[in-house]
Amino acid sequence: MAKMRHSSFDCSPGCSVEAAISLIDGKWKCVILWHLFKEGTLRFNEIRKRVPSITQRMLTNQLRELEQDGILHREVYPQVPPKVEYCLTDLGRSLEQIIVALKDWGDRHLDQFGKLALAE
């Protein structure tokens, strides 16, 4: 079943947080965004190499959702073999402070939760 995506932002207090989180939720989206912030434009297999635990299907799904939400731009070059590149849109680049803050928080607190996360 497809998950319901932020259909309305005009609701009670807290909905803007819910809406923002819905854009970057998913196990790999923040990791994908981190690599795009660090390296700029990347091809599909370049992203996959940087996130080796992700399956091809999951990466495809996460990239599609980020593209649908206007966070990523997907450029397809008409050549053989096919060449597809992903880069951040202006909206995507506006998330950089949030992703950097998440990374910084994780770096400071990894010893508190990292062993649990690695054990799963």
- The domain total for the chain is 1
One DSSP character per residue, 8-38 reads ---SSTTHHHHHHHHHH-STTHHHHHHHHHH
Residue 113 in tokens = 């939760």
Kind plus residue range of the DSSP H or E element containing 52: none
pLDDT of residue 67: 97
CATH number assigned to the domain comprising residue 51:
1.10.10.10
Q: Which residue has the tokens 């649908």?
A: 68
pLDDT in tens, the chain (120 residues): 345 555 555 556 667 888 888 888 888 999 999 999 999 999 999 999 999 999 999 999 999 999 999 999 999 999 988 899 999 999 999 999 999 999 998 888 888 776 555 545
Residue 88 forms part of a structural domain: yes
Entry pTM: 0.79
Contact, 52 vs 37, CB < 8 A?
no
Task: Please check whether residue 44 lies inside any domain of the structure.
Answer: yes
User: Which residues form the domain of 64?
Assistant: 21-106
- The candidate with the shortest Cα–Cα distance to 98, out of 41, 34, 45, 49, is 34
Q: DSSP alpha helices (H): ranges in the chain?
A: 15-24, 29-39, 44-50, 56-68, 90-93, 96-119
